[in-house]
Amino acid sequence: ANDSWGRYWGFDTKEVWTFVIWVLYAGYIHARATRGWRGTRSAWLSIIGFVAVLFNFTIVNMFFQGLHSYSGLT
């Protein structure tokens, strides 16, 4: 990224949402491993992470401009 665009992090919409997804799933793994989250709480956190993935693949590509837009709709 630094060689191509002159920076490592550009606060592109796709980059930010991918970071959010990483944080959600890291929190999920951490909660299950250290807090003992099982059942409903861990399921809801997993569902929220999956919805964020769907949002990143669909809504971000269709409605936001950036370096990482792959939809071909524009």
- How many CB atoms are located within 10 Å of the residue 65 CB? 8
pLDDT band for position 3 (cuts 50, 70, 90): confident
Range of the domain at 54: 12-63
Q: Is residue 25 part of a domain?
A: yes
Question: How much is the pLDDT for 27?
Answer: 94
Residue 57 pLDDT more than 90?
no
Q: Is residue 4 part of a domain?
A: no
User: What's at 25, amino acid-wise?
Assistant: Y
Q: pLDDT (tens digit, 9 = 90+) per residue, 15-49?
A: 899 999 999 999 999 999 998 889 999 999 999 99
Q: Is residue 34 part of a domain?
A: yes
